[in-house]
Chain A
Amino acid sequence: MSSDAKAVVPLGHVVIRFAGDSGDGMQLTGDRFTSETAGLGNDLSTLPDFPAEIRAPAGTLPGVSAFQLHFADHDIMTPGDRPDVLVAMNPAALKANLKDLRAGSTLIVNTDEFTKRNIEKVDYAANPLDDGSLDSYDVHQIGLTSMTVEALAGFDITKKDAGRAKNMFALGLLCWLYSRSTEGTIDFLKAKFAKKPEILAANIAAFEAGWSFGETTESFSVRYEVKPAPMRAGLYRNITGNPALAYGLIAASQQSGLPLFLGSYPITPASDILHELSKHKNFGVVTFQAEDEIAGIGAALGAAYGGALAVTATSGPGIALKSETIGLAVSLELPLIVVDVQRGGPSTGLPTKTEQADLLQAMFGRNGEAPVPIVAPRSPGDCFDAALEAARIAVTYRTPVLLLSDGYLANGSEPWAVPDATTLPVIEPAFATEPNHDGEFWPYLRDPETLARPWAVPGTAGLEHRIGGLEKADGTGNISYDPDNHEHMVRLRQAKVDAIARSIGPLEVDDPSGEARVLVLGWGSTYGPIGAACRAVRAEGGQVAHAHLRHLNPFPANTAEVLRAYDRVIIPEMNLGQLALLIRGRFLVDAIGYNQVRGMPFTSEELATTITDVIESL
């Protein structure tokens, strides 16, 4: 398809939000546009935002599903605060999203859905397309449904089915508008509808009709182009957090030679880890969908005892149920990876929205002194590295490890430099193979360096031994109720976790000028918004440093030193100040909290204002 007819205007970056009913296929549309954008070499970041209900009542506000994509000719860190373009497939989508638009932004609306009934459903007093309320936007009123039906008139499909292809029409139009290629989407449709040739042909026709409409309509006088972003040379793909985490676990299995076992119970937003791993049996992966969360981790612990790289994946409510077994794993000192893809809480909370409010649960949510190392990824692609790191700690130190992802990382995506599998770190299981104490085997005799105990798996002759959740004597592992021994063991378990700090790199600080007096300290998925906010502050002449924690327990050894080097420390979190509590308690630093619990990533705009205020207060 050629499009020489209209002028092409270059843009640095664009934020597009596709919004419609949860049955309108907005996630698919967004995914396809993302794929085409990734293929063009733009840097990008995405934010799917969908309701917990599978099909909320059509045309209502709770039923709105949206997908936001930020793409640029330069390195970007977030899916964008506000869309430059909103595609609203119905009045509900318009109403739910309009507040995020700046004046002058582009609005593409599907006029066919602006019926009296649909308008009343969302309590608009009048049709917003006619009453002048959208005058400050660049509105394109398009009958997406009717034009799609018209384009598919010759096909042997129902009018309803034809109308359902309107998302492909919209995608075609947007691909034209932003000069995306079409081949990838056509190949994708061919694969998806291979067994339904009529539906396939209709979808391709709708997609191409949308493209052609852009080219011919007077509604759009120009089209845009966003050039590829300069990135380090190499092979790239687009990746979403949950699959990246699953790949990290498979890589850890390969790098350790341990068979991967996942015991899991379906829960949003972690289920995709179970889905992904269940596809990779060719790596010897065994996935077990258990009867409940407790059985999921129980089976994983059993597999760990047998010598597997064992994992359980869940969200906050599941962690609550698994707590007792995590405590048992602390006592047994067996390697176990516990993935918590955090979502809004408490209780069932906001299943499809993101939050960081499980940090203290991960840190302290067990009876007794039961320290557990915590690792948190900072971006979708980083879920891969974080999973590998969690596996390294678990196996090396014979301990359960909490891997704290969140809903935004799980479903968000970004370009990812494909790692070279041959350069990944090797994880050494170092199973015990022979007696370690005067011809006897003592299951709790520790490695003096790591304080890890031997991992002696069943089937190893001569190493028969019993372990359990009762307190055990140092060394022999026999049951012991001795007061001094208990005190010793409690301190030993803590010391072992503390010793992990010796194996992790220092906390690095991003402070380009080296003159900042304010440090922003973050963890997890706030990396992007904090980074973008710091850039914005620096662009206005402010000096600010940013440090981001991958390890939350133990903290890197230089953490105190980093904190003390600044006059003020701001800790932005999607909770009411959980890291801030730990930092204050551990380091006596009067950290300033910046807290939001809206189920959505921060906007960097607001955070930048806060940082600037703190800088100016000095």
Chain B
Amino acid sequence: MMRARGLAFWLLLLPPVLWLGLLLIVPHVEIAILSFSERVGPRLYRFGFANYLAFLTEPLYWRTFARTAVMSIAVTAITLVVAFPVAFYIAKAARGVSKAVLFLLCLLPFWASELVRTLGWMILLRETGLVSALLQATGLSAGPVELLYNDGAVIVGLVYGGLLFMVVPLVNALDSLDFSLIEAGFDLGGSRIDVLRRVVIPHAMPGIVAGSIVVFMLTAGNFVTAALLGGKNGLWFTEQIYAQFIVRFNWPQGAAFGLLLLLLSSAIVWIGLKLTGQGFGETMRRS
């Protein structure tokens, strides 16, 4: 009996162990080892920090890295600001069927692949695109306007891609907000700002933090949107990783970049949790 139970236990444990081991731990250990190897000759490698030194000494690398961090934070903040009213409406104002329909409408774009969605933005924003044509037709612009290949286009595309992942945890968090708390907030003399700042946002905090973590990680690690909408000016850190692995066959350098991106994400999430005073476990439980 005990042995049979033991067997079932180990069998049940197997999938998560394989999952975490093969897909997470093994590749990262491999990448970590790889990142500390220097190329000294054809097919000849030794232990060293050259890849990390290259990151620090080559301005293009660390500037791209910093730019990715700053823009990802901006994208996360903008996504939060855009998603909050949407989530509030779905959670507190919409009732019954319309609630489900609104939720579905948020989900709908994600049935298309990220590539296709990004191409949609290109159709709208390119020089011969819809927006440009509209501006010319209404006389607001004399000639064709190129709206692609700048930071604005990248941010728009990334915010659009992150929206759902912000809306879902926010709706979850706001769903449990009793409407009488909002009324009490007004009744006791609070303005709209007071109620939002002191009642609604503290209540939604676990959702805000959970959504922000997910959106930040997706954004920092995004490749397609940044590459297509940013073009040559995109300069997203994932493009550097791609370039090292695929274009230059410099795997150790790419591995170092990969590890740096992972550290960056972890550090910023950690700082975010500290700043908002939220526990990671608590956040994950509530979202």
Q: Do A and B come from one complex?
A: no
